[in-house]
Amino acid sequence: MSLFAIDGFVKNFGALRATDNVSLTVDAGEIHALIGPNGAGKSTLVNLISGLFPPDAGRIVLDGRDLTPLSMNQRVHAGLSRCFQITSIFKNATVMDNLLLAVQAHAGSSLRFLKVRDSEEALRAAALALGQRVGLAGLEQRIAGTLPHGVQRKLDVALALASRPKVLLLDEPMAGMGPEDSAQMVALIHTLKKDMAILLIEHDMKAVFELADRISVLVYGRVLTSGTADGIRGNPQVQAVYLGSEEVPA
Pair type for strands 31-35 and 80-83: unpaired
Over 60: is that where the pLDDT of 114 sits? no
User: Residue 176: what pLDDT?
Assistant: 87
Which is the CATH superfamily of the domain at 1-79+165-250?
A: P-loop containing nucleotide triphosphate hydrolases (3.40.50.300)
| CA 205 from centre of chain | 16
Half-sphere exposure of 111 (CA within 13 A, CB side): 18
Pair type for strands 80-83 and 167-171: parallel
* Confidence label for 85 from pLDDT (cuts 50, 70 and 90): low
Q: How far apart are CA 230 and CA 125, in angstroms?
A: 42
Q: How far is CA 151 from CA 176, 180, 235, in A?
A: 12, 11, 35
Kindly state the average pLDDT of the residues 175-187. Answer: 93
* Confidence label for 242 from pLDDT (cuts 50, 70 and 90): low
* Confidence label for 12 from pLDDT (cuts 50, 70 and 90): very high
Round the average pLDDT of the chain to a whole number and report it: 88
**CATH 3.40.50.300 placement within the chain:** 1-79+165-250
Angle at 124 between CA 167 and CA 85, to 5 degrees: 35
User: Residue 111: what pLDDT?
Assistant: 44
pTM recorded for the entire structure: 0.89
User: Residue 86: what pLDDT?
Assistant: 61
Over 70: is that where the pLDDT of 249 sits? no
